[in-house]
Each structure stands twice: as C-alpha cells, then as structure tokens.
C-alpha cells in the first residue's frame, strides 16, 4: 500500500516544503497534520498531540484563535490582494513601532528570509561596503550570503553549508563563534572599514536557545557604531515571543533596571509572530537607513504580495491580542515545562542543560552546562534526543524533530497540557535511566 509519505516523497523533494519538517534528525516518517486548535495538532488519523512546534514560532496565542480566524475571514471577503497600500498595513507597522522603539520605519515583506536579505542589502547600500559578519550556528533564512554555518536545519540534516552558494558570495561573509568578544574585536580591527554589517539573532534560537553572554549584544552595537557598520538584529524568531519587545526588550529592561542606557539595533527583522501564522515579516529600523529603500532611496526591494491584506489581518489581530497577560501565561508555561522536564531528567540521572532566553527555551542533551558557541552545541547527544522525540510522539506530544530547536509554547498551554508532557517525559526517563 502506498503510504502518505511515499506519495509526498514522489512529488515534494524529501516529502516536505521545508527541510526541518522532515524527520532526518530523528528517523521515521512524519505523519501529515490535518488541523490545529489551541495547544493541539491533530494528524490525518485523528490522533491529537500537545503541539510544541507552534508552526516554529508564530502560534503564540495557540492555533486558530477565534479572533484571528474571524479577522482573516473578514479580510478575505474584502479581497485577497490589492497590490496597493491598505490601512491595515499602516496599522500593523504602527503596532510594531509602538512596542519596539528602534523600529522607526517598517517595510513589510512575506518571509523572514526576505527581511534579512533586505536588511543586508540595505546595510551594504547605505555603507558602500561589502563584508558582513555572522555567527556560527545562527540562522537568518536561506539567502545566499547568510547560508554559511547556519544552524538548526542544516545541522540537523548534516549539511554544513549549501551547495549552490558561490565561493564569491560566501567570501564576503565572515563567520565568528557566537559570544567570542576577542574574535569580534579582532575582526573589526582587521576588516573595520570593509564591514557593512554584523547580523545576529537577538538571542540565538536556531542552535537550541542560547542566552547571549552579558554585554555581547552591546559590544556588537558599540563596534558597529565606532566603525560605521550597521547592527542588524534578527528577531524573526524571538520578536514579540521571547518577550513583549522581543529579546531586545528583555535586555533593555535589564539595562534600565540597572540604570544603564540600553543599546539599540540599527536594523531589525521580524517574522513569525507578526504574521500570526500567515506570511508576514518585516525589516525595520532607523529612519535614515530605512529611507534608503526604494522608492525613497537607491536600495531596491519589492514584493507582489508584500503587506497582503489577508496576511496582515492575521498579524494585526494577533499583535493586538498580545497583552501582558498573554506574555505572563506564556512565561508561566515555559517555566513550568522547562523546569518540570529538567527536574525529571535530573532525578533520572540524565545529563542535560536548559537554554533560556526570555520565555524561549530548549533542552541540550548530554551537556551539563548550557552552551554558547555552536561547536559546544554540536556535542549534544542527538541519538538520545531521537529516542526521546519518538517516545513523546507515541505518547501524544509533538516536539520539533530536532535537538537544535526551541520548544514552542503558547498561551493555550495550560496545566493539563503541561502535565501530559511531563507524564510522557517521566515514562521515557524510567526506560532510559
């Protein structure tokens, strides 16, 4: 009998439309998902799972939130795409700026990849320089110059870099170890006037979740300012998820509490949450830089479906629902789940560490201390994670199928869902210990 997986593999390369959806990192065959609601996804056979993928970030409210669904239905009934500016695009951009002050101007695009690609082009156009610095293990989408040492999807499938990226393109990308202050300072000393930008995830979340060492983001900001380079902070994953003002907001609040002037990104990219599950992303930042974009300036960027009215309706409805109360619930779920899992593993003598940045977290398998650099992350016991993944899947919990991913919780992950996950972890730990 032809299975769904056979049928998918016969038409979609690898049976998927994005590599992390395949189960290369854990083995076995993914089940097709039929629907999702709240904290749950349901597969084609009607099996329900507590979902810890959350569409890889967007589903912070839980799936199919009625207010968001209604906004989408209403928008769709008024036309699927205009190809001209509509009021909600302005409202969504204002909503972003209202929560994230460095986003003085906002350009909506459809994917995080487009956002970071545009930010790089903008930095190069504004500075007239070619080189960019990125950090090993951090993922910024799949545009050529950023597909170097690029984190989870590639680490999971064992592809160090992508074929098809020319040496010429890669040559302008300087890759440094995340958190290595000396390497960063040295790179600026060596290439200072050639560096257009440093791009970094506000907190890395594509090699597991890593809290940046104290002062590292500030050092990037200072070096960029001193050398006339652009600091691009990628908040596609962390934005409006790690906290109400992304991970930048977490550090800003800590700085303010300590009486220190917060550092500021020059450009910032968003995605995931700002589309509420629909294709919306954004590049934003300092007005003088953003106004280098066409039609005001010489840096070209465009999109037939950019600011699509139906997608923007989902994003706007989602953002408007993101109250302090939602963030408190997400934080509580994250705390209860990460703390609960860690306690069970500790009791069973299973070596692990929890990486945390704001409300985001992930588990590191076989490591006693939460790592910072990718070379340490890569020492994880991925075989142990694969056993864990399958045990939890059999027990009705859908984890990201990779040891390098965050566990995504939502405001809908309440006591019952957390207990179901912890019961599954307990049962697995008993067999593993």
Ligand X SMILES: Cc1ncc(COP(=O)(O)O)c(C=O)c1O
Residue numbers annotated as active site: 139, 234, 272
Could you say which of 139, 270, 374, 407 contacts ligand X (CB under 6 A)? 139
**What's the min distance (Å) between Cβ of 67 and ligand X?**
23
For residue 66, which of 34, 33, 38 has the smallest C-alpha distance? Answer: 38
237 makes contact with ligand X (CB under 6 A):
yes
Separation CA 151–CA 147 (nearest Å): 9
Q: Which residues contact 264 (CB under 8 A, 6 or more apart)?
A: 102, 221
Question: Any residues with CB less than 8 A from the CB of 9 and at least 6 apart, and which?
Answer: 15
Residues 38-57 binding ligand X (CB under 6 A) are 56
Strand partners, 232: 199, 267
Stretch in the footprint of ligand X (CB under 6 A) among 38-46, 120-128, 233-241, 351-359: 233-241
Query: 3-class DSSP state for residue 71?
Result: helix
Q: Show the site string, 376-415: x = touches ligand X by CB under 6 A, - = not.
A: ----------------------------------------
DSSP classification of residue 208: S
Return the range that interacts with ligand X (CB under 6 A); candidates 95-103, 109-117, 302-310, 408-416. 109-117
Span from 123-131, 135-143, 170-178, 335-343 in contact with ligand X (CB under 6 A): 135-143
β-pair partners for 175: 134
Nearer to ligand X, 13 or 339 (CB): 13
Residues 156, 271, 63: CA angle, nearest 5 degrees: 85
Looking at residue 351, the DSSP 8-state letter turns out to be -
- The residues with which 342 forms a beta bridge, in sequence order, are none
Residue 285 C-beta: closest distance to ligand X, Å = 15
Q: How far apart are CA 364 and CA 175, in angstroms?
A: 23
What is the rounded distance in angstroms from the CA atom of residue 322 to the CA atom of residue 320? 5
Q: Helix 66-77 crosses helix 309-321 at what angle (to 10 degrees)?
A: 150
Q: What is the closest distance, in whole angstroms, from the C-beta atom of residue 18 to ligand X in the complex?
A: 7
Comparison of 141 and 244: residue with beta carbon closer to ligand X: 141
Q: How many chain residues touch ligand X (CB under 6 A)?
A: 15
Cβ proximity to ligand X: between 210 and 350 the closer is 210
Residue range at the interface with ligand X (CB under 6 A); choices 137-145, 329-337, 355-363, 393-401? 137-145
**DSSP β-ladder status, 131-135 and 352-357:** unpaired
- Which of the ranges 64-72, 119-127, 230-238, 342-350 carries the binding residues for ligand X, by CB under 6 A? 230-238
Q: Which H/E stretch holds residue 345? A: helix 324-347
In the complex with ligand X, the residue whose CB is nearer, 113 or 382, is 113
Shortest separation between residue 351's beta carbon and ligand X, angstroms: 27
Q: Using CA atoms, how far apart are residues 413 and 399, in angstroms rounded to an integer?
A: 14
With binding defined as CB under 6 A, does residue 141 bind ligand X? Answer: yes
* Residues pairing with 357 in the sheet: 360
Nearer to ligand X, 184 or 237 (CB): 237
Rule CB under 6 A: is residue 236 a binding residue for ligand X?
Answer: yes
Q: Report if residue 116 touches ligand X, rule: CB under 6 A.
A: yes
Interface map 243-282 toward ligand X (x if CB under 6 A): ----------------------------x---------x-
At 214, list the tokens.
């104290």
Q: Which stretch binds ligand X (CB under 6 A): 84-92, 139-147, 303-311, 315-323?
A: 139-147
Neighbours of 27 (CB within 10 A): 12
Helix axes 415-432, 324-347, angle to 10 degrees: 20
Rounded to whole angstroms, the Cα distance separating 387 from 16 reads 22
301 binds ligand X (CB under 6 A): no
Over the window 179 to 218, marking each residue x when it contacts ligand X by CB under 6 A and - when it does not, the resulting string is ----------------------x----x------------
Q: Which two tokens stand for residue 47?
A: 């099996």
* Of positions 21, 131, 134, 140, contacts ligand X by CB under 6 A: 140
Q: Which of residues 314-373 bind ligand X (CB under 6 A)?
A: none
- 43 sits in which H/E element: strand 40-43
Q: Nearest-CB residue to ligand X? A: 112
Least separation in angstroms between CB 363 and ligand X: 18
Footprint of ligand X (CB under 6 A): 56, 111-113, 116, 139-141, 201, 206, 234, 236-237, 271, 281
């Amino acid at each position: 009998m032809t299975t769904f997986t056979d049928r998918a593999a016969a038409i979609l390369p690898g049976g998927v439309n994005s590599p992390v959806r395949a189960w290369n990192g854990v083995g076995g065959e993914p089940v097709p998902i039929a629907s999702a609601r709240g904290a749950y996804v349901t597969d084609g056979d009607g099996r329900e799972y507590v979902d810890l993928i959350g569409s890889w970030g967007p589903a912070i409210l839980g799936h199919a939130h009625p207010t968001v669904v209604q906004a989408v239905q209403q928008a769709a009934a008024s036309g699927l795409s205009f190809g001209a500016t509509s009021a909600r695009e302005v409202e969504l951009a204002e909503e972003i700026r209202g929560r994230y002050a460095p986003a003085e101007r906002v350009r909506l695009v459809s994917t995080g990849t487009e956002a970071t690609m545009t930010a790089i082009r903008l930095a190069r156009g504004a500075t007239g320089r070619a080189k960019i610095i990125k950090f090993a293990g951090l993922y910024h989408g799949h545009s050529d110059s950023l597909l170097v040492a690029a984190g989870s999807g590639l680490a999971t499938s064992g592809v160090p870099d992508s074929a098809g990226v020319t040496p010429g393109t890669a040559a302008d990308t300087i890759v440094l170890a995340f958190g290595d202050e000396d390497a960063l300072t040295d790179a600026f000393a060596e290439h200072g006037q050639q560096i257009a930008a440093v791009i970094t995830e506000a907190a890395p979340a594509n090699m597991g979740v890593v809290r940046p060492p104290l002062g590292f983001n500030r050092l990037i900001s200072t070096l960029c300012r001193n050398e006339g380079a652009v600091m691009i902070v990628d908040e596609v994953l962390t934005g409006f998820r790690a906290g109400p003002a992304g991970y930048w907001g977490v550090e800003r609040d800590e700085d303010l509490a300590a009486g220190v002037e917060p550092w500021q990104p020059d450009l910032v990219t968003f995605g995931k949450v700002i589309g509420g599950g629909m294709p919306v992303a954004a590049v934003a930042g300092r007005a003088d830089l953003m106004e280098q974009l066409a039609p005001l300036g010489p840096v070209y960027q465009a999109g037939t479906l950019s600011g699509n009215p139906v997608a923007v309706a989902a994003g706007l409805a989602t953002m408007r629902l993101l109250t302090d109360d939602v963030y408190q619930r997400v934080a509580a779920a994250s705390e209860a789940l990460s703390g609960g899992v860690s306690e069970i593993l500790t009791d069973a003598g299973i070596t692990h560490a929890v990486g945390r940045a704001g409300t985001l977290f992930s588990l590191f398998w076989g490591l006693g201390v939460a790592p910072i650099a990718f070379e340490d992350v890569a020492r994880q016991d991925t075989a142990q994670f694969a056993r864990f993944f399958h045990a939890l899947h059999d027990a009705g919990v859908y984890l990201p199928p990779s040891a390098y991913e965050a566990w995504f919780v939502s405001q809908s992950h309440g006591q019952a869902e957390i207990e179901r996950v912890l019961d599954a972890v307990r049962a697995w730990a008993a067999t593993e210990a």
